[in-house]
Amino acid sequence: MEKILEVKDLQVSFDTYAGEVQAVRGVSFDLRKGETLAIVGESGSGKSVTSKSLMRLIPSPPGRIKNGQVLFEGKDLTKLSEREMQDIRGSEIAMIFQDPMTSLNPTMTIGKQITEGLRKHQGLNASAAKVRAIELLDIVGIPNPEIRISQYPHQFSGGMRQRVVIAIALSCNPKILIADEPTTALDVTIQAQILELLKDLQEKLGMAVIFITHDLGVVANIADRVAVMYAGKIVETGQVEEVFYNPQHPYTWGLLGSMPSVDATDEELIAIPGTPPDLLKPPIGDAFALRSDYAMKIDFEMEPPMFKVTDTHSAATWLLHEDAPKVEPPAIVKKRMRPVNSQAAGKKEGAKND
């Protein structure tokens, strides 16, 4: 599949009174046409800063892209002028933010907010833009769109407001959609509806999606590939089945172990001890070492490289070095692991259950 986006050694910092906060410390990944990449990690891992940097939405000052490339269809977005970026935002790359209420202007009707982008990027006149806006509201599942287009954000529920935000993001048929924790402010039932909507739209429109979340349960249902972030770096990446059923990094074990499972109601969840490191002074070696039960001496001395597990799966942990001791994931994680990409194994499991 052809690559539509390549991120190479992205470094983003914020200048504060206390010093330089190194929020993103050399992130590299790619995105292929039509696929969904999930970027996962706890709060403060650098997920949202990474996603906003792709669209050059980091406020400057205090934020700045120190180094790296963001290649969209071969064009380095970090080198473009603000005027050139304005032509790309919305039309080529669109974004859905966390809180739909703060994403919408409370003084403007829904219709005006949707047609704004259509008129700027698509060159539609007022009447054609209104027709398209009604179509978009219908596509995202808002009933009576011809009436609701004249209403204001406060007249919509949280789930409906998020549907409006999705309609705005899709209005100019972007090639990449970045969804930054789009279901965080919604209840569980509405979350499921929004996720299903995004999945359906992605399949119908064929756009690539970057999905930012701290919820691994979301990842399992929506992503093709996963990148796990910690302390401003990607520490594990692979196909969703590989990361879920053959995780290699202790941090990924912790995330999986802390995820509730309907199949294991009697099991105690894992709590990752401690807190993420202070990125004013990033630690030497593996940033997760102080919180890991599996840390070795080398973890405090040298930063681990990305070790290749398969052609599509890599992890940055010294546990994958050939001289490292062999350790097993926690029991709760092992219970959830299954053979990767093995249809035969799946059939045997089904036969046993029958």
309-322 as b/e: b if 16+ CB within 10 A: beeebbbbbbbbee
The residue behind tokens 């209403």 is 151
Q: What is this structure's pTM?
A: 0.88
* Closest to 221 in 3D by CA, of 199, 206, 237, 201: 199
- Going from N- to C-terminal start, the domains of the chain cover 103-173, 231-353
Going edge to edge, which strands form the sheet with 19-32? 19-32, 3-16, 63-72, 75-76
Contact (CB, 8 A) for 65 and 78: yes
Structure tokens at 305: 């490289």
CA distance 228 to 233: 8
**What's the confidence (pLDDT) of residue 341?**
47
262-295 as b/e: b if 16+ CB within 10 A: eeeeeeeebebeeebbebeebbebbbbbbbbebb
Phi-psi map region of 19: left, alpha, beta (phi>0 left; psi -120 to 50 alpha): left
154 pLDDT above the threshold of 60: yes
**What's the confidence (pLDDT) of residue 335?**
75
* Mean pLDDT confidence for 165-175: 89
**What's the confidence (pLDDT) of residue 264?**
54
CA distance 268 to 260: 9
Helix 188-205 with 158-170: angle, nearest 10 deg:
20
Instruction: Collapse the DSSP code of 96 into the 3-class scheme (helix H, G, I; strand E, B; otherwise coil) and give the result.
Output: strand
Q: Amino acid identity, residue 344? A: A
CA distance 245 to 251: 14
Tell me: the pLDDT tens digits for 84-121? 999 899 889 999 987 777 788 999 999 999 998 888 88
Highest mean pLDDT among 133-142, 217-226, 307-316: 307-316
CA distance 157 to 19: 41
Contact (CB, 8 A) for 299 and 286: yes
**What's the confidence (pLDDT) of residue 193?**
85
- DSSP 3-state percent helix, strand, coil across the chain (nearest 5): 40, 20, 40
Least confident span in 31-40, 96-105, 122-131, 176-185: 96-105
CA angle 267, 269, 272 (to 5 degrees): 155
The residue behind tokens 């992503």 is 223
DSSP 145-210: HHHHTTS-GGGS-HHHHHHHHHHHHHTT--SEEEEESTTTTS-HHHHHHHHHHHHHHHHHH--EEE
* Residue 221's pLDDT band (cuts 50, 70, 90): confident
How far separated are the first and last CA of the chain, in Å rounded? Answer: 38
CA distance 300 to 289: 7
DSSP 1-51: --EEEEEEEEEEEEEETTEEEEEEEEEEEEEETT-EEEEE--TTSSHHHHH
**What's the confidence (pLDDT) of residue 332?**
77
Tell me: the pLDDT tens digits for 323-345? 999 998 887 787 776 554 443 33
CA distance 212 to 48: 7
Number of CB atoms found within 10 A of residue 234's CB: 27
* Residue 192's pLDDT band (cuts 50, 70, 90): confident
Q: Which CATH architecture does the domain made up of 231-353 adopt? A: 3-Layer(aba) Sandwich (3.40)
